[in-house]
Structure 1
Amino acid sequence: MTRLRLHRENHLVERIGWLRAAVLGANDGIVSTASLIVGVAAASTAPGDVLIAGVAGLVAGAMSMAAGEYVSVSSQADTEKADLARERAELAASPEFERDELTEIYVGRGVEPELARRVAEQLMAKGALAAHARDELGISDTTTARPLQAALTSAATFAVGAAMPLLMVVVAPAEWLVVAVSVASLVFLALLGAIGARAGGAGIWRATVRVTFWGAFAMALTAGIGRLFGTVV
């Protein structure tokens, strides 16, 4: 008799909660801080003032990312809780209808009606709410909203990303500040795109080009505005 050897599979989708927040935070940290530094430096501001502006952008951006992620993901969590509460009430009021509803879901996925009914009955006997949450609402432990995790991850990675262009302000000569920050930030963005794609199992080149292109566009636009207003003022 052949024995099945079971093993745990680590699927990449399990990383989606923290990975999305991490990539978003780091990308925003690099792009927004580098753009701020390039824009201020292009207006012929003293290096000390550029550094102060960059540090202020780091702190404000990290706090903004944390608050924004917490609020938005909390809204998602509230919606999930409301849907689960509604489903729990429906299960208590009409379990037969909910069983038929679950059966139809499985039939729609290609399961034969009689087998789909038996599957629905067995899954509901084990955990009716869990079965409906997963198969009807699309809510599972893997994809459920985690506000605090998203907030902390975004704030931390934003600070790390923002620190990279700030470091160039400290080490680069004043006359080469704009060029040094721009080039270094594009390199950082390319690395971020590659790391994020690698962690998520996606194509590295497409992610790298996408992140780098939009970062370059943001910095070029901000530098142009800074130079324009610096000349006018």
Structure 2
Amino acid sequence: MARLVPSASTAPTSRPEAPARDAELSAKLNRLRAGVLGANDGIVSVAAVVVGVAGASSASAPVLTAGAAALIGGAVSMALGEYVSVGSQKDALLARRAAGGHVEDDEIVSPWAAAAASFVSFFLGAVLPMLAIMLPPADVRIPVTVVATLVALALTGAIGAGLGGSSRRRAAVRVVIGGAVALAVTYGVGSLLGAGIA
């Protein structure tokens, strides 16, 4: 009986570059998704602070001061947290390599790069509520900020969910509800404190 030998066109071929390409794409998508989530944090954190302060005072200076402090403090905090997290992950991977474990070079992420990306994404997200609260006239700045914040949260929620492969609509609704609750609570607390001080 003759043995059939697969021809070159039908023989299975190994593609060692495919897993590496897939891993690189996955890493890029994860970084992009982390950036979107960092921007999301910047939007809701700073919006909650400025709306809360605006609820307590109609003066622009306290709102600007609190918003700037929340923007810088939040961005630095996000960067430090990311640096510590990624630095710990890098140390664990290097220890596994030292112990004879196989670690690819592209698995080792720079803590400084991760911290910088986190800082920038939070900062860019936080700029939106700062502009929304400072540019309009005082009598409409809170509604403008609330609408701008909720629209931005819906967009970042949908983008993050799309990158993660989950439902965009569900993610957008969830993050908008969470953002609306945060804004309502901080505005309410600010109004109560402002009334108490006055």
TM-score range (shorter-chain normalised) is 0.7 to 0.9
In the TM superposition, what whole-angstrom CA distance separates every residue of 1:114-162 from its partner, at most 9, and x where no partner exists?
Answer: xxxxxxxxxxxxxxx32xx5xxxxxx55654442222111110111100
For the 8 Å contact 1:17–1:143, the answer to whether it is kept is no
Is residue 51–residue 186 contact of structure 2 (8 Å, CA) maintained in 1?
A: yes
Tell whether 2:48 aligns with 1:35: yes
Give distance in 1, aligned partners of 2:83 and 2:163.
23
Q: 1:141 to 1:195 in 2, by over 3 A?
A: farther
Which structure is richer in relative contact order (CA contacts within 8 A, separation 6 or more)? 1
Q: Given that residues 13 and 142 in structure 1 are in contact (C-alpha distance below 8 angstroms), is that contact kept between their aligned partners in structure 2?
A: no
Q: Which residue in the other structure is 1:158 paired with?
A: 122
User: Which residue in 2 is equivalent to 1:100?
Assistant: none
Q: Alignment RMSD, CA only? A: 2.4
Q: CA deviation at 1:226?
A: 0.8
What is the deviation of 1:218?
1.5
Divergent runs of 4+, >3 A: 3-12, 140-146
Which residue does the alignment assign to 1:50?
A: 63
- CA gap 1:147/1:76 in 2 versus in 1, 3 angstroms: same
Q: Aligned partner of 2:55: which letter?
A: A
- What percent of counterpart residues are identical? 46
2:32 paired with 1:68? no
User: Where do 1:89-168 residues align within 5 Å?
Assistant: 129-130=101-102, 144-168=108-132
Task: Report the Cα distance in structure 2 between the residues aligned to 1:211 and 1:31, rounded to whole angstroms.
Answer: 9
CA contact (8 A) 2:37 2:156 kept: no
Distance in 1 (alpha carbons) for counterparts of 2:151 and 2:60: 22
Report how many aligned residue pairs link the two structures: 184
Residues 220 and 141 of structure 1: is their aligned pair in 2 closer, same or farther, counting only changes over 3 Å? farther
The equivalent residue for 1:18 is: 31
Structure 1 counterpart of 2:189:
225
CA distance in 2, matches of 1:188, 1:195: 11
Q: Is the 8 A contact 2:155 2:172 kept in 1?
A: yes
Deviates more, 1:28-37 or 1:195-204: 195-204
Structure of higher CA gyration radius: 1
CA distance in 1, matches of 2:82, 2:133: 29
* 2:160 corresponds to: 196
Deviation at 1:83, TM superposition (A): 3.2
Distance 1:16 1:148, change over 3 A: farther
Rounded Cα–Cα distance in structure 1 between residues aligned with 2:57 and 2:88: 43
